[in-house]
Amino acid sequence: MSYVPPLSDLRFLLNSVFDLAPLQALFAEQGFDAALALALLEEAGRFCAETLEPLNLKGDEAGCRLENGQPVTPPGFAEAYRQYAENGWCALSGAPAYGGQGLPHTLQVLVDEMVSGANLSFSLFPGLTRGATEAISAHANDELKGVYLPKMLSGEWTGAMALTEAAAGTDLGLLRTRAEPLADGAYAITGTKIFISSGDHDFGGNIIHLVLARLPDAPAGVKGISLFLVPKFLPDGTGGLGARNGFSVGALEHKMGIHAQPTCVINYDGAKGWLVGTPHRGLAAMFTMMNAERLFVGIQGLGVAQAAYGKAAAYAKERLQGRPPAGGTGPAPIIEHPDVRRMLLTVRAFVEAGRALAIWVAMQIDISRHHAEEKSRQQAEKLVSLLTPVVKAAFTDFGFEGAVLAQQVFGGHGYIHEWGMEQLARDARITQIYEGTNGVQALDLVSRKLELDDGQVVRGFLAGVEAELAAIEGLEEITAPVRAAVAELRGLTDAVLARAADAAETGAASADYLRAFALVCFGWMWARMAAAAPGAEEAEIREAKPALARFFVTRMLPQAQALGAAVRSGAAPLVALPAALF
């Protein structure tokens, strides 16, 4: 069962649900419109289905290996990346000044979903490279930009981020990697980093690490961290590769999933690097990449769930088991059984609402970067900041749950490696962990993002959702439950903000609040899609979207009310049991 790109849904979203006029105005020079977007997405989908997905199971089986200190990726991966780069996908949303195509991030997100669904291990190579280019573009000096960005956007060179150390994971203030000034203005980087995705590989070219380290005069904690660009090979001054830099791969991590991705332990032994941004302000600079990667990881969760759903739905139509519930003789396709339908509808209801929400957030990113008016840019940036932890955590939670439900549809065959479903579940699991665990994302939402502008950003966002729902006519059975859920979330938000000074209360509320927030956002998107469905070109869309919206508001959205009750119960049930009794 091959990966099937969601092109029909993309056509519906871009033609019927979202008004792309603002993006057409912002990217008029590139000739962007829905027709161009869909043509490019069709080509991306073909590449994912024909090139990347056939490598997925094989890559999982072969894994990466370390030969004489050099990571070797599974057969076909290096060639696939070369094709990906030659086809221009590395440059899609990159800055034109350095060889990028300058197309909207909205389009990039939709390509990322398909790449992630077809081959999650592969997706990290271009995804991390793009995140590194964004950090370099935002914070490096012109000389570094000129040397590194053209090669990274062309796909000749790749990127990685080196944050985590054995004693410094979430708490980066504990990191010990050192940066000593050199006479020529560069720095010597010494230390060990772990969990470095795409840290080294056999694709050829250079690998550009963005490394967090401490200068000799650095204050303690996160205020003493600086960011450095550390290439695998030093540039030779002519655009080529010079001497090998002073870092090496100490080991490859042995992981539950993403076996085809070389996750490295990197030893920096006086490696030469260059400061990116301001001394002691490296964490702020790295957050440019981290926030980009958090959104990307959320899209990974969405992509895996889409791939899992497609395989499970196809299997359910073919697999004959038991008698049909409506009566008659068997065996019947298992798609006829209500519980199988429940599982499939749950996954699909998340995937299609998640994709719509991803487009909405991505459009805000494009506005925040390219709109002519500063006020519009700032407003969009705040909305992106609010929703980044929601996308990262909710999409990966629902994505993993969706992969497991899809695996369950296969019954015993879902547990067998050859079907590929157990790999999807294993691969999806990491998305809930890396780039900041989902617990950290939830805490970020309730302790930081809700307080933006004294709570006015989240209140303004919810008011906008309510206004949009109120304008939808003739779909009361769908919009009424969503409006009620928004009202409940507004009250829940006020309750959480009222307890913001109490760290225990904030921590206790965080995970349940984030999930409730996500469910309300999905309900908003389902109302949007149900309203747009009558104008869709395809009869299947016109019939399916309202039915899926009704499923969501009756079977999934009510969970938000129970989550709200859990949040309101406060921290007491969580702190009552003494630590010694765990």
Residue 229's CATH number: 2.40.110.20
DSSP H or E run through 180: strand 178-181
Whether residue 446 is found in the same domain as residue 551:
yes
541 plus 555 within the same structural domain = yes
Question: If you search the block for the tokens 């889409």, which residue do you land on?
Answer: 306
My answer on whether 556 and 538 are in the same domain is yes
Alpha-carbon gap, residue 395 to 304, rounded angstroms = 10
Domain-located, residue 330: no
Q: Let me know if 381 is a catalytic residue.
A: no
Measuring CA to CA, which residue among 230, 28, 27, 32 is closest to residue 136? Answer: 230
Q: Is residue 305 part of a domain?
A: no
| Other Cβ atoms closer than 10 A to 97 | 13
Q: SS3 for 3-32, per residue?
A: CCCCHHHHHHHHHHHCCCHHHHHHCHHHCC
Spatial separation of the C-alpha atoms in residues 283 and 224, rounded to whole Å:
9
User: Taking the mean position of all CA atoms in its chain, how far away is CA 567?
Assistant: 26
DSSP element (H, E) containing 114: helix 105-118
Q: Is residue 401 part of a domain?
A: no
Q: What is the pLDDT along the chain (582 residues), one digit of tens a residue?
A: 789 999 999 999 999 999 999 999 999 999 999 999 999 999 999 999 999 999 999 999 999 999 999 999 999 999 999 999 999 999 999 999 999 999 999 999 999 999 999 999 999 999 999 999 999 999 999 999 999 999 999 999 999 999 999 998 888 888 999 999 999 999 999 999 999 999 999 999 999 999 999 999 999 998 999 999 999 999 998 888 999 999 999 999 999 999 999 999 999 999 999 999 999 999 888 888 888 899 999 999 999 999 999 999 999 999 999 988 888 887 999 999 999 999 999 999 999 999 999 999 999 999 999 999 999 999 999 999 999 999 999 999 999 999 999 999 999 999 999 999 999 999 999 999 999 999 999 999 999 999 999 999 999 999 999 999 999 999 999 999 999 999 999 999 999 999 999 999 999 999 999 999 999 999 999 999 999 999 999 999 999 999 999 999 999 999 999 999 999 999 999 999 999 999
Q: Are residues 213 and 132 in the same domain?
A: no
- Residue 168, strand partner residues: 165
Q: Is 0.95 surpassed by the pTM of this model?
A: yes
Is the Cβ–Cβ distance between 442 and 517 less than 8 Å?
no
Q: In Å, how far are 114, 248, 303, 308, 418 from 4, measured between CA atoms?
A: 9, 39, 11, 10, 18
- For residues 98 and 178, state if they share a domain: no
70-72 and 178-181 as β-strands: parallel, antiparallel, unpaired?
A: unpaired
Left (φ > 0), alpha (ψ -120 to 50) or beta: where does 379 sit?
A: alpha
Indicate whether 293 belongs to any domain.
no
Domain assignment present for residue 194? The answer is: yes
Measured between alpha carbons, how far apart are the two ends of the chain, in Å? 45
- Please state, in angstroms and rounded to a whole number, the distance separating the CA atoms of residues 421 and 312: 9
Residue listed under structure tokens 């060179």: 157
Angle between helices 438-447 and 503-532 (to 10 degrees): 90
CA 218, CA 216: separation in Å to the nearest integer? 6
Structural element, H or E, at residue 530: helix 503-532
Residue 500 is given by DSSP the state: T
**How far apart are the C-alpha atoms of 383 and 503, rounded to whole Å?**
24
17 and 149 housed in the same domain: yes
Query: For the chain, how long is the longest CA-to-CA vector?
Result: 85
Residue 336, domain member (yes or no): no
Asked if 106 and 231 sit in the same domain, the reply is no
- What token pair was written down for 83? 């094709």
Same domain for 42 and 143, yes or no, is: yes
Q: Is the peptide bond before 331 cis (omega within 30 degrees of 0)?
A: yes
Whole-angstrom Cα Rg for the chain:
24
Closest CA to 314 of 293, 334, 294, 300: 334
Cβ-based neighbour number of residue 350 at 10 Å: 28
Pairing of strands 158-162, 207-213: parallel
Residue with tokens 């332990």: 265
Query: How many of the other CB atoms lie within 10 Å of CB of 522?
Result: 26
Interaxial angle between packed helices 421-429 and 282-318, expressed in degrees from 0 to 180 and rounded to the nearest 10: 160
Which amino acid belongs to residue 457? V
- Residues in CB range of 462: below 8 A, 6 or more apart: 486, 489, 490, 493
For every residue of 303-348, which 3-state class applies, written as one string? HHHHHHHHHHHHHHHHCECCCCCCCCCCCCEHHHCHHHHHHHHHHH
| HSE (side-chain half, CA atoms, 13 Å) at 263 | 18
Q: Residue type at 3?
A: Y
Closest CA to 399 of 377, 430, 436: 430
Q: Which domain, by its residues, includes 18?
A: 7-154
From the candidates 50, 435, 466, 488, which is the catalytic residue?
A: 435
Q: Could you tell me if residue 359 is inside a domain?
A: no
**Helix intervals (H) in 198-322:** 282-318
CB distance 428 to 435 below 8 Å: no
Last residue of a domain, one of 284, 312, 345: 284
Tally of domains within the chain: 3
Of the three residues 284, 309, 324, the one that is the final residue of a domain is 284
CATH number at residue 72: 1.10.540.10
Check whether residue 172 and residue 94 sit in a common domain: no
pLDDT at position 327, please?
81
Q: Tell me what pLDDT residue 289 has.
A: 81
Same domain, residue pair 207 and 107: no
Same domain? For 17 and 126 the reply is: yes
Boundary residue ending a domain (239, 260, 284): 284
pLDDT of residue 285: 86
- Specify the residue for token string 């979207």: 545
For residue 242, being part of any structural domain is answered with: yes
In terms of domains, do 487 and 528 share one?
A: yes
